[in-house]
Structure 1
Amino acid sequence: MAIGCDMSGHDADFYGWTREQAAALRAGRFDTLDREALAEEIESMGNRERRELVNRLAVLLCHLLKWQYQPERRGSSWRSTIREQRRQVALILRDNPSLRPKLPELLADAYEYGAEDALEETGFFKAPWSQQCPFGMEQVLAADFWPV
């Protein structure tokens, strides 16, 4: 925001705007709501949950690939990361069950990112893993799945 710009509402003070909108909702003053901006913000919140799930899955898949293809480097740090990402994915899915039907699509997106990160982190010149995710969603999320 440039100094001297005359901005109001949503763009000028997002925090204040959210408080005003929440108060108007609670008071039933629907005619004062910034409906379009509210709708955009609500959709944005949902998109953040989706992105967070993809990010968590990407980190998880990256570490599962490293676990599988660099067994000599396996350690407590990788194990801890895999467990934590599984916990976080489970929490996101618990809190957002409508994301479950999208898991095949999200897993594909996450694998692309995770495989790319794994390639960089392993130092391999060419990826020894397939371009398609070699793990099923059940495996990815299973606490007892450790690829060999």
Structure 2
Amino acid sequence: MSKTPVKHLYEQDFYLWVEDTVSKLKARDNENLDWDNLIEEVESLGKNQRKTVLSFLVRLLEHLLKRCYVPISDCYRGWEIEIRNFRQRLQIELEDSPSLKSFVLEILSKSYEMALANVRDGYPDVYFSDVCPFPCDVDALLNKKFWEE
């Protein structure tokens, strides 16, 4: 298959393109691979995983802030369940790609700003610190019950 039909296949039937690409990779048929689209797809895998980590971290921080600072005891259990859920989702991502632990620390400040804006919008009468009150420590973020301190 020449490069033009392979690129056409990518645009017409993505799943079939994936099957064809996997078959060619297994056969080490480097000459007939659609390299441009293959590179783009592999790059997007990393980008998507980073976006997923960012999203889960923001949601975790939102719930940590609510649980630690919003005095609505009827909501505590629900927030703690959400904290556990987002921690588990982050742990799954970090188990698959341990190198993303450093990414968590890299985006912690930005993630906190996003979470802070979200909770301030929902709870305008509650004071939340401009500075992240949680440690710059992935293991603590994933395990510690900050509201028990």
Q: TM-score range by the shorter chain?
A: 0.7 to 0.9
**CA distance in 2 between partners of 1:134 and 1:143 (Å):** 13
| CA contact 2:62–2:116 (8 Å) conserved in 1 | yes
Structure with the higher fraction of residues in helix conformation:
2
State the Cα distance separating 1:105 from its structure 2 match. 1.5
Relative to the length of structure 1, the TM-score reads 0.83
Change over 3 Å in CA distance of 1:111–1:147 after alignment to 2? farther
Instruction: Give the length in aligned residue pairs.
Output: 140
Matched, 1:42 2:51: no
State the Cα distance separating 1:130 from its structure 2 match. 2.8
CA RMSD, aligned part only?
2.0
In the alignment, structure 1 segments of 5+ residues that lack a partner are 1-6
State the Cα distance separating 1:75 from its structure 2 match. 2.5
Counterpart in the other structure of 1:20: 20
- The code of the aligned residue for 1:100 comes to K
Counterpart in the other structure of 1:106: 107
Relative to the length of structure 2, the TM-score reads 0.83
- The code of the aligned residue for 2:108 comes to L
Runs of at least 4 residues of structure 1 off by over 6 A?
none
In the alignment, structure 2 segments of 5+ residues that lack a partner are 1-6
Counterpart in the other structure of 2:129: 130
**CA distance in 2 between partners of 1:71 and 1:42 (Å):** 45
Name which structure has the greater RCO, CA cutoff 8 Å, separation 6+.
Answer: 1
Counterpart in the other structure of 2:145: 144
Counterpart in the other structure of 1:59: 59
| CA contact 1:86–1:143 (8 Å) conserved in 2 | no
State the Cα distance separating 1:100 from its structure 2 match. 1.5
